[in-house]
Structure 1
């Protein structure tokens, strides 16, 4: 018994033991949450989606939407009720979450990924509970909120420092440090924004997502290692590496996106003088001509000197020409200050439909053999440009007012 306990703590386990230490908690969790999902869907079909008030106040997330958040908080209600009736102070739950989180970092640093991952996930669940318990008992206060926030940073840092220590002699050290930086900046930018009166809560990699991807990837990684690399003394734990890289990239993307939103909100908007119709047409046509020239030169270079096939060179040239056209129109023609991502999406949509209209128009005109296809090509191009491309680029793609209206629209639950 003593030897088994030492093996469990040190990580010196047989392949089957390594699998079961990771798989046993996973099987229980999967069974619980799958049954909960079925019951939740039945409940939604009968009475509608139960609205969790705190979830509605949090920012949007691409990875974990509001439906999944409502489901998660609904399915863990039994645990919440147990903690509520236990009489444990909310601050005690925060401290327990912090201790488990720091312990997860120690375990991971020693190579005990299953133990560290499950401790980190449990710490995350308790972190969700402490604030709810405090608010339900009407014990919430600024001191408790500060304690919870600081302990969250320690928990996030602990597991990432543990991973950095474990991977200190490999390239994975870089994403570990990147994730450590990003996970610190995401809440910092939010707190800085709130201090300046600006709410910046949205983002793909918020704390729930970090706990989920880091915890699950770390906890389940020993299964793959025991199956495919059972003799490795210092396994790479590729599932944990994937989760770590994912968190490193998206946490920094989230931090930068929040920072950009904060800067835009704090920067006074300057009125932009719009160009007249003739000037607008001239600059837009010039941008198209420059983009076409760049496209042609790029294709020529890739085919003649790069050895690329004409098909792939054309694809690459079209993409490059599109980027040049978009950039010139945004900066010079329309002097737009709107968000880049939605503009690119609108620009891509207009460009794709323009290509379809041009192709369809030329196909229709070729039904008349007496009409030269070159003349038909120019005729269709002109009609599509004046009737579709130019108006939509002016009123839809680069119209900053549409971005402002989208930002003012209330978020759906």
Structure 2
């Protein structure tokens, strides 16, 4: 008995022990939550869905809808009532949630995924309750909200740092760092928006979803490893990897979506002749047509006129630039400004775009494990959306912006 306890504490577990350390809490949790779901569905059939007011205010996501959220807060009512009667302060629950969450990161860093996953889920449940306890007792205050918010960031970061440490010698380190970045940006953009008077709460991967996918995936992953790879000394824990990659992708998409909506809400309103999607589509089509014309001219000059490929490339690039400029001026942005000034600005944007693309590809090729073709497309996409499209819209073809000569003429002269 003592040997089994020492083995459990040190992590020196047999395959069957690894399964049971993950499965035993899962059996109890599943029995409670699945049984609760059955009773909840029967109740809903006769009395309707018991609506939780705070859930309605916070909204739902594609991943976890209103039904599941109402069910979750209904099924944890016994635990919530027990904590409420105990008289524990809400700040104590926040601190306990923080301690459990940080401990989860230490556990997964040591390879104890079942322990770390359940600690992370327990921290998430306590985090849901502390604010509700404070509001029910009418003890909610800015200090408690600040404590809760900061501790949430520590809990998320600790878990992801623990996973990053465990996977430090594998490719999974990259999604672990990506999830850490996305999980930090999602609440930051929301807080920044609230500070500027804009509410940005959209996105599929919010904190409840992060806790759910990371916690469940990590807690149950030893079962899969013990069944299929029982002799592996440093198992990959593939269920945790799937959850981690999913959180990394979705949290960054949520952060980008919130950031885009925030900037759009704060930016000066523009009178657009068409929707933004139409502009992006026409701009991309102009680039594709220009590239095709460029390539066709290069082939014609080299194959039919025996011109050197280098010179043919220069001429093809010039023709492609003219075609791209013309389509964007006439069709995409419907600009009527002076051509000369626009051509100069277009040349500036195109030249800097070429440098950014070349530099980005050069940097990514420093990592030979990344295919250069993937790096090329990645850099192209980032430069297009972060540099080419905004500058063509707001700098090259923006007819509403006065030129510098006009602004200089309008400056008051010194007496």
Q: CA deviation at 1:10?
A: 2.0
> Tell me, what secondary structure is at the counterpart of 2:126?
helix
Q: Distance in 1 between matches of 2:10 and 2:189?
A: 38
TM-score computed with the length of structure 1 as normaliser: 0.67
Q: Distance in 1 between matches of 2:73 and 2:333?
A: 45
> Tell me, what secondary structure is at the counterpart of 2:187?
helix
Q: What do the CA deviations read for 1:322-350 (whole angstroms, capped 9, x no partner)? A: xxxxxx999975769xxxxxxxxxxxxxx
1:183-262 alignment, distance < 5 Å = 183-262=183-262
* Number of residue-to-residue matches in the alignment: 297
Partner of 1:159: 159
- The answer as to whether partners of 1:106 and 1:162 remain within 8 angstroms in 2 is yes
- The answer as to whether partners of 2:98 and 2:155 remain within 8 angstroms in 1 is yes
Q: Distance in 1 between matches of 2:14 and 2:139?
A: 47
Q: Distance in 2 between matches of 1:33 and 1:48?
A: 19
Q: Distance in 2 between matches of 1:96 and 1:80?
A: 15
1:14-33 alignment, distance < 5 Å = 14-33=14-33
Q: Distance in 2 between matches of 1:242 and 1:274?
A: 40
- The answer as to whether partners of 1:94 and 1:127 remain within 8 angstroms in 2 is yes
Partner of 1:69: 69
Q: Distance in 1 between matches of 2:329 and 2:55?
A: 39
Q: Distance in 2 between matches of 1:83 and 1:15?
A: 37
> Tell me, what secondary structure is at the counterpart of 2:192?
helix
- The answer as to whether partners of 1:189 and 1:258 remain within 8 angstroms in 2 is yes
Q: Label 1:41 to 1:267 Cα distance change in 2 as closer, same or farther (>3 A).
A: same
Q: CA deviation at 1:196?
A: 0.5
Q: Label 1:5 to 1:48 Cα distance change in 2 as closer, same or farther (>3 A).
A: same
- The answer as to whether partners of 2:59 and 2:66 remain within 8 angstroms in 1 is no
Q: Distance in 2 between matches of 1:257 and 1:31?
A: 37
- The answer as to whether partners of 1:60 and 1:201 remain within 8 angstroms in 2 is no
Q: Distance in 2 between matches of 1:63 and 1:237?
A: 23
1:387-402 alignment, distance < 5 Å = none
1:110 partnered with 2:110: yes
Q: Label 1:113 to 1:140 Cα distance change in 2 as closer, same or farther (>3 A).
A: same
- The answer as to whether partners of 1:10 and 1:112 remain within 8 angstroms in 2 is no
Q: Distance in 2 between matches of 1:50 and 1:334?
A: 51
Q: CA deviation at 1:9?
A: 2.1
- The answer as to whether partners of 1:60 and 1:202 remain within 8 angstroms in 2 is no
1:271-310 alignment, distance < 5 Å = 271-273=271-273
Q: RMSD value over aligned CA atoms?
A: 2.8
Q: Label 1:329 to 1:14 Cα distance change in 2 as closer, same or farther (>3 A).
A: farther
Note the residue ranges of structure 2 that are not aligned, 5 or more in a row: 276-281, 300-325, 335-415
TM-score computed with the length of structure 2 as normaliser: 0.67
1:300-379 alignment, distance < 5 Å = 333=331
Q: CA deviation at 1:25?
A: 0.9
- The answer as to whether partners of 1:114 and 1:221 remain within 8 angstroms in 2 is yes
Q: Distance in 2 between matches of 1:43 and 1:186?
A: 35
- The answer as to whether partners of 2:160 and 2:179 remain within 8 angstroms in 1 is yes
Q: What do the CA deviations read for 1:68-107 (whole angstroms, capped 9, x no partner)? A: 1111111111110011011111100011000000110111
Q: CA deviation at 1:36?
A: 1.0
1:92 partnered with 2:92: yes
